[in-house]
């Protein structure tokens, strides 16, 4: 990314100002499985994240979101999941990996034929 993009855009990577704030006042507290880095302000109780790549709030796992929102005070450590629990996945809406149900215009393949139980309304 170019210098101007780094200064003025926030959606593709952390801005220059965010990285400067992290360097100047931030105390690094941890990293999640996506490579996002979490910080706390040395002077106050402010907390923030520097995203690894695309800046998207759904890329923050629940345990780190709870810490960012001051729901929990302790920094999340390794998460021990039950066998039935899935790993956190970011929201895929609007991406090629988004869920497209059968019959969707964006789904691949053909929609199943109508079952014959539908009668369209006819005027008058």
Domain ranges of the chain: 3-68
Cβ–Cβ under 8 Å, residues 53 and 13: yes
Half-sphere exposure of 88 (CA within 13 A, CB side): 15
Q: What CA–CA distances, in Å, run from 93 to 2, 15, 18, 89?
A: 28, 24, 26, 12
Q: What is the pLDDT of residues 75-102, one digit of tens each?
A: 998 888 899 988 888 888 888 888 888 7
Say which residue the tokens 């170019």 belong to. 2
Q: What is the pLDDT of residues 23-63, one digit of tens each?
A: 888 889 999 999 999 999 989 999 999 888 888 888 999 99
Cα–Cα distance between 31 and 21 in angstroms, integer? Answer: 17
């Amino acid at each position: 990314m170019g210098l101007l993009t780094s200064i003025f855009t926030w959606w593709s990577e952390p801005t220059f100002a965010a990285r400067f704030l992290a360097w100047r006042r931030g105390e690094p507290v941890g990293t999640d499985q996506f490579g996002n880095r979490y910080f706390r302000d040395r002077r106050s109780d402010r907390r923030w994240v520097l995203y690894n790549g695309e800046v998207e709030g759904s890329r923050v796992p629940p345990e780190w979101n709870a810490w960012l929102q001051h729901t929990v005070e302790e920094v999340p450590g390794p998460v021990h999941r039950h066998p039935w629990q899935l790993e956190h996945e970011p929201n895929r809406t609007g991406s090629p990996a988004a869920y497209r149900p059968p019959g969707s215009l964006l789904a691949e393949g053909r929609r199943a034929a109508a079952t014959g139980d539908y009668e369209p309304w006819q005027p008058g």
